[in-house]
Amino acid sequence: MSLLVLGTVAFDSIETPFGKADRIIGGAGTYICWSASQFYNNIKLVSVIGDDFPQAELDALAARGVDMSGLEKRIGEKSFYWSGKYHMDMNSRDTLVTELNVLADFSPKLPEHYKNPEMLLLGNFAPAIQMQVLNQLNERPKLVAMDTMNFWMDIAMDDLKKVLTQVDVLIINDEEARQLSGQHSLVKAAKTIREMGPKYLVIKKGEHGALLFYGANVFFVPALPLEEVFDPTGAGDTFAGGFMGYLAKTGDYSLDGMKRALVYGSVAASYCVEAFGPNRLKELGPDDIKARTLEFLNLMEVTLEDIR
Amino acid sequence: MSLLVLGTVAFDSIETPFGKADRIIGGAGTYICWSASQFYNNIKLVSVIGDDFPQAELDALAARGVDMSGLEKRIGEKSFYWSGKYHMDMNSRDTLVTELNVLADFSPKLPEHYKNPEMLLLGNFAPAIQMQVLNQLNERPKLVAMDTMNFWMDIAMDDLKKVLTQVDVLIINDEEARQLSGQHSLVKAAKTIREMGPKYLVIKKGEHGALLFYGANVFFVPALPLEEVFDPTGAGDTFAGGFMGYLAKTGDYSLDGMKRALVYGSVAASYCVEAFGPNRLKELGPDDIKARTLEFLNLMEVTLEDIR
């Protein structure tokens, strides 16, 4: 079993109502790997950085079981850089700066030992890049999940729709689901989107939790109510990473297995927002995951035996 | 056991993106009684109407076990009238018209056989009126719940705070919780509000579900994802009515009992929004409640035995 991850490794500058952080470690691939490695340690990352990225950060991820041999390092170039500012409610943000840098002409090349993963998570990236990764695999993984964003729907919808036919699980937020489907009702949106390819659809609603649609089934996992949301950056990637990391650990892709994975994704995301960047995720161990999972059970559990 | 309900009985005109309904039956008391009577049939309503209110509507509620002897009927006067228009997302609305009519100088007078209820639900009303009901009781009910709204926080906060010291369960929405507490974080808001009196706090988040705070415990019940939300009017009152109706049926005010009641409140509310006014609630029987409760269990249930 191995989990192949495509995702950016980048620098972020973040401003929230509670503080500022300048040029900290970020990127979907970073959050996914920190989160998935809470559950599973045969992870292979494919991405690209410049020569400005701190080696200590890469070493820390490698120590968590993340194979970095598919991480291309371009000498004389700069890593991807994003800067954003959150509003008071933390549910909306403005992008201040996007510098593609090494991403501008990235074309992923998978090492040979990357080409037979049992699971694949295509983090948010240009759909054409996501397809390049799929096309280099020797055989189809048992489970393929992907994330995307409105930007790709605006400029590369045809490519996006092609990738969608290849994935089992699509993980997007409510706004993205509405744009992709053209439907306001998330139930209707889910129906339309699953006709595009994915059997499983996860719709993330930020502080309002996440929905899993599969067949005629709908499952909901709440977000943990927190005293403070310090920095939501990366929470969605952390959610996807925890979800796929837990599935990689168990190999159970049944509906019940997916439900459990959704809870663990939420557990990881609830830690992510407690500090700037992936800092909180770096501190976590199994006891932290267990303690918070018990909090989720208290939040969700109700006995209604009388109804059956 | 009996459940005393204070709540308006009124006419509403409603406009949504899906249609219009002119001068239909409405009011918090109406929704509460239709909902609570799905679970329990010793309900006593205290309210006021003009002579324009259709007798058939009152007869229909009486047939569900609602005692109307505390419903004052003023000859030559008009019933309370509200008109509102919903926006596309159905989470926000504008009030177009409010005609207080009989509410302008209402002073509730409880019949003798109303004065020993075991449970009391103070629907959204001027806090001074809510206090008048409390003051006429021979002894304190075993459980007192109340609803309120931003309007009363703006113009009668001192009265509202007095009532709060007398209640066990406060049921309000997220925006109201933020205004009442002055806190944006709902976890912090809950702490502040429970210091004002209520042991239990229910925060309704509309389509995003509801939270129950008690002691160090937090419980979350989702709203059922629906293809169409036809008319959200009265959903919050229906939720409160189902919650209290189920508690009246069981008499179990433990945390587990409250959690169950929260699910049944959500079940009732999920039906309410399927048609204009309380029309959908009028059609329901025990099989409908059971069927939808099973849908909620599918939505909420996850097995995580391995974690304990």
Q: Which residue has 């280099």 as its token pair?
A: A136
pLDDT at res. B116: 98
> CA-to-CA distance for A295 and B40, rounded, in angstroms?
33
Nearest to B192 by CA among B172, B221, B207: B172
Distance from CA of A72 to the nearest CA of B (A): 38
Q: How far is A175 from chain B (nearest CA, A)?
A: 12
Contact B187 A225 (CB under 8 A): yes
Residue B308 maps to a domain: no
CB A121 within 8 A of CB A265: no
CA distances B133 to A130, B45, B103, Å, are 65, 11, 15
Please report residues of A whose CB lies closer than 8 A to that of B183: none
Please indicate if any CB of chain A lies within 8 Å of the CB of B87.
no
pLDDT at A91: 76
Q: Which amino acid is at B195?
A: E
Inform me whether the C-beta atom of residue B226 falls under 8 Å from chain A C-beta atoms: yes
Calpha distance A193→A96 (Å, rounded): 31
Could you say which DSSP state residue B162 is in?
A: H
DSSP letter at A160?
Answer: H
Q: Is B218 helix (H, G, I), strand (E, B) or coil?
A: strand
Interatomic CA distance for residues B115 and B304, integer angstroms: 47
User: How many whole angstroms separate alpha carbon B231 and alpha carbon B74?
Assistant: 30
- Answer whether residue B306 is part of any domain: no
Secondary element (H or E) of residue B71:
strand B66-74
Q: Which two tokens stand for residue A269?
A: 């995301």
Task: Give the amino acid at A25.
Answer: I
In the three-class reduction of DSSP (H, G, I as helix; E, B as strand; rest coil), residue A277 is classed as coil
Whole-complex ipTM:
0.93
Q: Is A214 helix (H, G, I), strand (E, B) or coil?
A: strand
Q: What are the tens digits of pLDDT across the range A55-103?
A: 999 999 999 999 999 999 999 999 999 999 998 778 788 999 999 999 9
The average confidence (pLDDT) of chain A is 96
3-state DSSP helix/strand/coil percent for chain B, to nearest 5?
Answer: 40, 25, 35
Residue B50 structure tokens: 């003009």
Phi, psi of A192, deg, nearest 5: -60, -45
CA B24 to chain centre: 18
| Burial of B131 from C-beta contacts in 10 A (0-12 / 13-18 / 19+) | middle
Q: What is the H or E stretch that residue B220 is in?
A: strand B217-221
Rounded Cα distance, B206 and B173, in Å: 8
Measured between CB atoms, which of B185, B256, B298 is closest to A217?
B298
Burial B267-300 (b: 16+ CB within 10 A, else e): bbbbbbbbebbbbbbeebeeebbeebbeebeebb
CB A251 within 8 A of CB A294: no
To test the contact with chain A by mutation, choose from B302, B303, B305, B306 the residue with the greatest count of A C-beta atoms within 10 A, namely B302
Determine, for residues B294 and A308 on separate chains, whether the beta-carbon distance falls below 8 Å. yes
**B160 touching chain A per CB within 8 A:** no
B-chain residue closest to A184, CA distance: B89
**A88/B188 CB distance under 8 A:** no
**Residue A105 carries which side chain, given as an amino acid letter?**
D
Residues B297, A307: C-beta atoms closer than 8 Å: yes
DSSP-derived 3-state class of residue B39? coil
Q: Is A58 near chain B, with CB under 8 Å?
A: no
* Amino acid at the residue B11: F
Please name the residue ranges forming H helices in chain A. Answer: 28-36, 55-63, 127-135, 150-155, 157-164, 174-181, 186-194, 235-250, 255-272, 279-283, 286-300
Contact B170, B200 (CB under 8 A): yes
* Tokens coding B266: 């959500």
For A226, B53, B70, B306, the CA distances from B76, given in Å and listed in that order, are 53, 11, 19, 67
CATH code at position A165: 3.40.1190.20
Q: Do A300 and B220 touch (CB under 8 A)?
A: yes
Residue B113 one-letter amino acid = H
Six-digit token string for A199? 């059997």
Q: Verify whether the Cβ–Cβ distance A263 to B302 is below 8 Å.
A: yes
Please, where are the H alpha helices in A75-207? 127-135, 150-155, 157-164, 174-181, 186-194
Nearest Cα to Cα of residue B184 among A232, A231, A93, A227:
A227
- Cα–Cα distance between B6 and A114 in angstroms, integer? 67
Asked if B201 and B193 count as a contact pair (C-beta separation under 8 A), the reply is yes
Q: Which whole-number Å values give the CA distances from A157 to A41, A180, B3, B258, in the listed order?
A: 34, 9, 57, 47
A168, amino acid identity: D
Nearest chain A alpha carbon to B17: A184
Question: How confident is the model at residue A308, as a pLDDT?
Answer: 61
pTM of the complete model = 0.95
Provide the chain B residues 162-181 that lie in CB contact (below 8 A) with chain A: none
User: Within chain B, which residues score under 50 in pLDDT?
Assistant: none
Q: Residue B234 corresponds to which tokens in the numbers above?
A: 């009265």
Query: Which residue in B184, B218, B263 is closest to A225 by CB distance?
Result: B218
Q: Rounded distance, CA A194 to CA A170, Å?
A: 9
CA A55 from chain centre, in angstroms, equals 23
Q: Which of A218, A222, A256 sits opposite B220 (nearest CB)?
A: A222
Let me know if residue B23 belongs to a domain. yes
**B188 inside 8 A of chain A by CB:** yes
308 residues of chain A, pLDDT tens digit each: 899 999 999 999 999 988 999 999 999 999 999 999 999 999 999 999 999 999 999 999 999 999 999 999 999 999 999 999 998 778 788 999 999 999 999 999 999 999 999 999 999 999 999 999 999 999 999 999 999 999 999 999 999 999 999 999 999 999 999 999 999 999 999 999 999 999 999 999 999 999 999 999 999 999 999 998 889 999 999 999 999 999 999 999 999 999 999 999 999 999 999 999 999 999 999 999 999 999 999 999 998 866 66
Report residue A105 CA to chain centroid gap.
23
Q: What are phi and psi of B66, to 5 degrees?
A: -95, 120
Residue A161 CA: distances (Å) to CA of A143, A152, A170, A175, A197: 18, 10, 12, 17, 8
Q: Domain of B142?
A: 3-300
Q: Please indicate if any CB of chain B lies within 8 Å of the CB of A305.
A: no
Number of independent structural domains in chain B: 1
Residues of chain A neighbouring B308 (CB-CB closer than 8 A): 294
